[in-house]
Structure formats: structure tokens, C-alpha cells
Amino acid sequence: MTSNSNSQERYSRQILFSGIGREGQQRLLNSRAVIIGCGALGSAQAEALARAGVGKLRILDRDFVEASNLQRQTMFTETDAAERLPKAIACANHIAEINSDISVEPEIADVNHSNIERLIADADVVLDGTDNFATRYLINDACVKHQKNWIYGAAVGSYGVTMTVRPHETPCLRCIFPEAPPAASAPTCDTAGVIMPIISVVAAVQVAEALKLLTGDVKNLHNSLMQFDVWRNEWRKISIGKPLADCPTCALGEHETLNAEARDFAAVMCGRYAVQISPSESVHIDLAALRQKLEPAGEVKANDYLLRFRTGDYELTIFQDARSIIKGTDDIATARSLYSKYIGN
């Protein structure tokens, strides 16, 4: 068989589906989706879009796989957790086995004001797989500024929510939530835990919306804020109307999160009892040399992408870009002093 007929066979059930058809399938194959955050929602989106034949998937994540992810992050395996693979890399490895015809562009990165505009510049759609409102406002600002459709999604406990933003056609995230909702901005936002079924529901609706956008079927978008609770059995569809006339982002064009002078050097990570320290400018770290330096001071393990150093109650994970995730504290001052002691300023 030619690769074209292979492709027809692989996607035959999707081509039979009237909403997509042969032309829609070709559009999917020619599209690029950018997935920001490859945890529970992001890895579910990545798998579904890869299987659907979206031709290019850019997968962005700053973290590595841990055992506590496996209950809901269905893309990952015990081996990924044991090897502490960065999620972007583990996800790319699995997608290569699921669909070798598409191209995956993994990037181990903390998405922030300095890189987001570059990372979404050639996107046909952007999907939210993050776990915090600060990054969602950043995505909203960048996508509205560059007229990119993006799909908000969040899940905690058994509750989830999603909304599709088409800049200047529908309300943006800032129109609906002028400030982060209290539940999402609490310091330990996932201490409530989360169950996999709500992840599946939210990711499924996000992916369906992405397929409609990529195939050009705008009239079938749900045009609402959709809320689900799979434990309390509540499903709500709240109509969202038009963009607000005085929205700072989509009406006044302020995009404040993109104009930050310098991003916070340190940030407590949601529900992780960990702090992320990012260098103020991008540097490349020689992990082999760092390993030699740290070995006398504690237990060191490394793979191609990161180095893990355990000392006392703390565990430092250091990436090649000198970013570090410090586990064992939620105190920024403690984390900063560990960083400067072991990694440098």
C-alpha cells in the first residue's frame, strides 16, 4: 500500500464521520496544535489529537513524570516515572509509537512572557493543559494579540470547566474572569485532589472543539462556558455572548502579562510542596560538570535532560536551562538559598 492508502485506512472511521470527511481529514493533517502543559489534560489532548492525525503537535511542559501522576495522566508509565523523564519527552516518545506519521515538537520549557509569542506564532489552535490561572492569562493575552483560537480547560476534584476563545468573535478569558476565581487562586489549588474521569470529560470536549476549529466547522462550536461535575452529576452550559466592550485584553489591547519587565524568579508550584526557580536569563548548564560538583554532597541521578540531587529533606531537579524544581519546601526563601548553594546564582 502507498502511504496515502495507509493513511486512508488509518483515518477511515473519521473520514466516514460527516463532520470531518476527506477534506476535514486533510485539514487536520496539515494543521499544527500547540499544547501548553502536558500533565493530565495536556497528555490526554496530545494522545487524542495524535490519533486523529493532527499533523504537527508542539508539546510544552516544564515538569517531569512522577508516580503520583499515573492515577490520571494516562499517557505515562511506571518506567517514565522511574526514569523521571520530562513530560514533554515522555509524551513525544509515546506519540511516536501511537502515530509515526505525524511530527511532534516537544519542548522542555516553562512557558512565560519571554517565549509564549514565539511558541504560538505558527499555531492553528492552542490548547490549555496548564494548572494555574497566571499561565492561562498569559495564553489569553498572547492568543488574543496574535488572533489565535485557544481552548481553556481546568479540572479539580470531580469538577471541570472549559471554554473556547475565538479572539474578537467570542469573549476572552479576561471577559469572563476579570480576576482568577478564588478556588483556582488558592495557594494549594490541587490539595482537593482530582479523579481521572473529569480529566477525560474536559479533555474530550477540548479536543472536539479543536477538531471543529481545525476543520473549519465553526458553527458547531459550543459557544459557552461548560461546567461538569462527574460526582454530583451536574452538567451546565452557560451562554457567553459577545466580547465585553471594555475588556482590557480584547477591547483595549493591553496584554499586560506579555509586558512584564522580568518574570518572577521563583514560584511555588501548585499542590506540589515544591518551588520552581528560573534564572532571569537563559543559560545552558553542563549537567555532567554539575554532577561531579554535587556528588560529594548527596545522592545524584541524571538522565539526558535533567539531574536530580537529594540532600537531607530536599530534592533538587535541575534542567539544562538552569531551571530547578526544589521539592521539600513551599518557602521561596529556603528554595532560593538551596539554589544558590548548590547550583549558583
Residue 166 binds Zn ion (CB under 5 A)? no
The minimum distance between CB 36 and Zn ion, in angstroms, equals 19
Q: How far apart are CA 293 and CA 297, in angstroms?
A: 8
Residue 247 binds Zn ion (CB under 5 A)? yes
* Total residues in contact with Zn ion, by rule CB under 5 A: 6
Residue 321: helix, strand or coil by DSSP? coil
Residue span binding Zn ion (CB under 5 A) among the ranges 43-51, 169-177, 224-232, 290-298: 169-177
Q: How far apart are CA 164 and CA 217, in angstroms?
A: 13
User: Closest residue (Cβ) to Zn ion?
Assistant: 247
User: If we measure between CA atoms, which residue out of 55, 10, 35 comes closest to residue 215?
Assistant: 55
- Which residues does 170 contact at the CB level (< 8 Å), separation at least 6? 164, 223, 240, 242, 243
Q: How far apart are CA 226 and CA 151, in angstroms?
A: 12
Residue 175 binds Zn ion (CB under 5 A)? yes
Residue 276 binds Zn ion (CB under 5 A)? no
111 in Cβ contact with 138 (< 8 Å): yes
The residues that are catalytic are 189
Q: How far apart are CA 88 and CA 114, in angstroms?
A: 19
Block residue for cell numbers 513525544: 92
Near Zn ion by CB under 5 A: residue from 50, 75, 165, 172:
172
Residue span binding Zn ion (CB under 5 A) among the ranges 43-51, 75-83, 241-249, 308-316: 241-249
Residue 249 binds Zn ion (CB under 5 A)? yes
Residue span binding Zn ion (CB under 5 A) among the ranges 32-40, 148-156, 249-257, 278-286: 249-257
In the complex with Zn ion, the residue whose CB is nearer, 172 or 210, is 172
In the complex with Zn ion, the residue whose CB is nearer, 170 or 324, is 170
Using DSSP bridges, classify how beta strands 299-302 and 306-311 pair: parallel, antiparallel or unpaired.
antiparallel
In the complex with Zn ion, the residue whose CB is nearer, 73 or 249, is 249
The minimum distance between CB 317 and Zn ion, in angstroms, equals 36
Q: How far apart are CA 172 and CA 157, in angstroms?
A: 25
Residue span binding Zn ion (CB under 5 A) among the ranges 82-90, 126-134, 239-247, 294-302: 239-247
User: If we measure between CA atoms, which residue out of 144, 145, 162 comes closest to residue 236?
Assistant: 162
Residue 250 binds Zn ion (CB under 5 A)? yes
In the complex with Zn ion, the residue whose CB is nearer, 54 or 172, is 172
Q: What are phi and psi of 298, to 5 degrees?
A: 170, -170
Binding site for Zn ion (CB under 5 A): 172, 174-175, 247, 249-250
